[in-house]
Structure 1
Amino acid sequence: MDRGAIRRRLAVGLAVLTAAGLIAVAAPTQAQAAAATRCEGRKVKTYPFSTGTLYVYKKSGHVCAIVTPRRPGRQQTMMVSVQAFRAKPVTDEGLYTRRAGPVTVHAGQRCVWVKGRVGSGSVSKGWILC
């Protein structure tokens, strides 16, 4: 094999290793970003209201909630809150285009109070999942 062929093979091998390294570094970041945009577990409640919908999920004693607007795309005030019985609420509030949340609390076997708001419409469901 001549020197040119060896150099080409080394260059191809280096390019493959570099690409594999970049994929290995980027994949966990993408997985974390995807996990941060949704709740883990199974959907246990759906509460539609005039301007959006509040979704409640549960997994292994953790309760998670997300609120989505009826008409996504334009920036508007949104809020989602989950409070386990005898604990402080966890809230996400701000100007969003697609959703507020997810917010998660460890409730164990305790009841939770969920709230959601999009613009002027809101929902508050009292103590649920008892």
Structure 2
Amino acid sequence: MRSTFTGSLVRRAQQRHVAVWLSEVSAEITSVQYAALEVLHKTPGVNQRQLGDELDVDRSTIADLVARMVRNGLVERSDDPVDKRSYVLFLTGAGKKQLAALRPRVEEVERILTTRLTAQEAAELRRLLSALLPPRE
């Protein structure tokens, strides 16, 4: 008998998400990296701290994520004109191309994961999952 505890269901759903992501989107670009591309597309010039806050990841994780994306030519880092101790981030041309290529695949992941749900149920699922998370500061 499978566990019906919330944590177990969330873990299994995450495992399914990862498997579908790998088969439909990319083995090189993670869902967090994709989310970073989306944030930088919508708000170019945010600093690393703001990007980390938006993605809900800690400082060391965002530093590693940004360093990897810079190394892969998806993001460029510049000195923050306001705070010289900080960097501002922008998508490169390659980052913009990658985002455009991945977006329909990410939408397909969403479709696959929610295929047995109505649109209203999918919206309710997102609302309930969001309710499990701590409030943003």
Task: Give TM class, smaller chain.
Answer: under 0.3
- TM-score scaled to structure 2, two decimals? 0.23
Greater CA radius of gyration, 1 or 2?
1
TM-score, normalised to structure 1, is: 0.24
Query: Which structure shows the higher strand fraction?
Result: 1
Task: Tell me: higher relative CO, structure 1 or 2? Use CA pairs within 8 A at least 6 residues apart.
Answer: 2
